[in-house]
Amino acid sequence: MTQSNQVSGLKLDFSTSPTVASFFRSKAFVRGLMGPVGSGKSYACCAEIFRRAVQQRPSPRDGIKYSRFAIVRNTHPMLRTTTLKTWLELLPEHVWGPVKYSPPITHHIKLPPRDGAAGIDMEVIFLALDDPKDVRKLLSLELTGAWVNECRELPKAVIDGLTHRVGRFPTKADGGPTWRGVILDTNPMDDDHYYYKLAEKERPSGRYGWEFFRQPGGVIEVDIEDLPDDMPEAQGYTHQAGRWWKTNAQAENLKNLPNGYYDQLLGGKNLDWIRCYAEGKYTFVQEGRPVWPEYNDAMMADDLMPEPNVPIQIGLDFGLTPAAIFAQKMPTGRWHVLHELVTFDMGLERFCSMLKSELASRFPGFETMVWGDPAGSQRDQIFETTAFDHLKTHGIIARPTATNEFRTRREALAIPMGRLIDGKPGFMIDRKCMRLRKSLNGGYHFKRIAMGAGQERFRDTPNKNEHSHVGDAAGYCLLGSEHKIMTKSPNRSVRPVQAKVLDFDVFS
């Protein structure tokens, strides 16, 4: 498909990118475009915005085609150095008019009517959601459409918010919008991301449904038996991360990339990075420095079962993303993490009900110890109760740990990870605890700080994200046992029960 619009010399041609052509043809209300780096996703989304502005119907008042779009990125540095840069490659300022760089960054393109063609008035507002002012601005905009650049870095709530801001400009007095919608582009992500679930599992349907497009990978893996016998590197094959690769002839946008682009891209990269950014597959990629570099998933993940007569210890992290970890400390001193309960956008009332249900179904009759973030001892400003008071009303007797100081919580997990007990690590986790395993594998991490060449530094505090809450819950679970307080299981009775004393030391 050749998509060509000529306005003042601008020509858009995606005839060699069939996935992008299908993306353009789609009439879905929300459209996602996923592919490897270098596949032309961002450029295609810029072109789509301009195309929709050109196709807008003229206003009956003055014959001008009015439109307004928001382009959203997660941070200002990324917005300015990548998103805006791509936009200006397509629509440079010296041709289409200057950009207003004072927040919010805006490119207002105005073309007067000429030669019988309608004029264009297209306003494009660039927003970065690390700035609270931009968030407030986004929630009040009247838009034609929106583009979320690298949507894997933004919460789904942003997309949900945009779906009720688009289609509100231009007004009916100016003819109303001929198109409305939200477009997304992204590199691949982990399979527990909302994008994956929507694209592969539970795609919204109907007249205003969602549609997702996946570009071919930039490289493909080559079986060693299919390699040429003589000098495979000289024939376009690359060996990296213990595998052989070659550039995918079906990859899109190759004509706009330098020769050998994907070959040079693979150098020094690990397998997960290659799978995600070059091969274009759903993959978890570790970013930054892990909070627990001591964790070894190959050694510490196993199939575990609860041990009778050993207490179940529960660590809680509160907030609107509450999480719980269920573990046992074996008589040998080894920790077994048996189960996880991870929620999002949920209040404590609903979470308490889920917690009781999990205990009743998975650990009936077990003694329990419940520990939580000491911040849960602070009174609610409206109801003047604490999180621990609320748990108590559900029959869950929980205690705050001695501290929520990060380094102490980190060491509570790191110390048993560094031990060997009877030839096995002192910390084991059930394979089904996927969210905690991803947290320990580097989902919970310290962000890199930009430094000079050859230097690598990280922030002193970890990055709070979807992986941090379950990691914190695990820290409270192990740290809390130092208090040596034990309660009976709330699934035996919904009423508060008397605490009992148990000799229990996480560092023994």
Q: pLDDT per residue over 168-213, tens digit each?
A: 999 999 999 999 999 999 999 988 788 999 999 887 776 778 999 9
H runs (alpha helix) in 139-204: 156-163, 194-196
Residue 276 is predicted with a pLDDT of 93
pLDDT attached to residue 382: 42
> Peptide bond preceding 155: is omega within 30 degrees of 0, i.e. cis?
no
Q: 463: closest CA among 264, 288, 302? A: 288
- Read off the pLDDT of residues 144-168 as tens digits, 9 standing for 90 and up: 999 999 999 888 888 988 999 999 9
Euclidean distance between CA atoms 428 and 431, whole angstroms? 9
Contact call for residues 468 and 292 (beta carbons, < 8 A): no
> All domains of the chain, ordered by start, with CATH?
18-214 (3.40.50.300), 219-276 (no CATH), 297-501 (3.30.420.280)
β-pairing, 312-317 with 368-372? parallel
Predicted structure pTM score: 0.70
Whether residue 505 has pLDDT greater than 70: no
Tens of pLDDT along 3-26?
444 444 566 677 789 999 999 999
Q: Cα–Cα distance between 292 and 410 in angstroms, integer?
A: 7
In which element (H, E) is residue 243 found? strand 243-247
How far CA 148 is from CA of 33, 127, 162, 325, in Å, comes to: 11, 10, 9, 34
355-383 residue pLDDT tens: 999 999 999 999 998 998 887 666 554 44
Render pLDDT for 245-266 as a digit per residue (tens, 0 to 9): 999 999 999 999 999 999 999 9
Q: What is the pLDDT of residues 268-289, one digit of tens each?
A: 888 889 999 999 999 877 777 8
Compute the distance between CA of residue 171 and CA of residue 160 in angstroms, rounded to an integer.
22
Apex 60 CA angle, 57 and 62, nearest 5 = 100
